[in-house]
Amino acid sequence: MKLTHRSSALALAFVLPLGLAACGSSDASTDAGSTTESSASASASPSASASPTESMAMAGEPFGAACSQVPASGAGSFDGMSTAPVATAASANPLLSTLVTAVGEAGLVDTLNSAPELTVFAPVNDAFAALPKATMDAAMADPKGLLTKVLTNHVVAGKIAPDKIAGDHKTLGGGTITVAGSGEDFTVGEAKVICGNVQTANATVYIIDGVLLPAM
């Protein structure tokens, strides 16, 4: 489906980034009174830092029917997206071109890309195309106000894994969204997750088939 420039602009903003979250790490401890030097060496042997792809694998694979539409290679593939911050990663994914345009119109690209950790519910192009024209026009006419509010209603601080995603979540736009379901079957309000657990360098993305309009 071919989208208008206005619908394109509105779409991307939903993926906007803003939240901050702290990363935790654990240090291995060694026994102070150990007399076996070789044993201590073995337990302290250095391990290579996990690559973005390895991190994605440890977090679990993407799931959902629409995942088959993601490119198999290149910047828009799962591996390619895992190495880029979320706004940049989304710009390479053909399912999210409308959303990416909207994010650019709202001036949220840098904010999104610079946030340490986010969870983003990203509407696909068809979700924006299904919005009433009057709704899209109103948002596009107010990029720093209404459009930004709509976009940030799709963003939650911190990376949230599928086994923890069900429940109520406060958005960066100040509203609350409710995720229901389990396993690989989730809804966000009236939208459905069609490709979940997509990893970018600073966000976990759940691609959805509807736009999450905030309460006005």
pLDDT at residue 5, as a whole number: 39
Given a cut of 60, whether residue 6 has pLDDT beyond it is: no
pLDDT at residue 44, as a whole number: 39
pLDDT at residue 8, as a whole number: 38
Instruction: Return the structure tokens found at 125.
Output: 């192009």
Select from 164, 166, 163, 137 the least CA-distant residue to 150: 137
Looking at the chain, which runs of residues are DSSP E strands?
A: 118-123, 155-157, 167-170, 176-182, 185-188, 191-199, 203-208
Given a cut of 70, whether residue 32 has pLDDT beyond it is: no
CB 191 within 8 A of CB 201: no
pLDDT at residue 215, as a whole number: 82
Q: Residue 28 in 3-state DSSP?
A: coil
Confidence class for position 184, pLDDT limits 50, 70, 90? very high
Q: Which residue has the tokens 């991190």?
A: 55
Given a cut of 50, whether residue 171 has pLDDT beyond it is: yes
Could you read off the pLDDT of 35-82 as tens digits, one per residue?
A: 334 443 333 333 344 444 444 444 589 999 999 999 999 999 999 999
Torsional sign, CA 192, 87, 107, 120 = positive
pLDDT at residue 188, as a whole number: 98
Q: What is the CATH number of domain 5-21+51-208?
A: 2.30.180.10
pLDDT at residue 60, as a whole number: 84
Pairwise CA distance, residues 127 & 158, whole Å:
24
Quote the DSSP letter at residue 211. Answer: -
Calculate the average pLDDT of the chain.
81
| Residue ranges covered by each domain of the chain | 5-21+51-208
pLDDT at residue 133, as a whole number: 92
In this prediction the pTM is 0.74
Could you read off the pLDDT of 107-138 as tens digits, one per residue?
A: 999 999 999 999 999 999 999 999 999 999 99
> Which helix (H) or strand (E) is 80 found in, with range?
helix 78-81
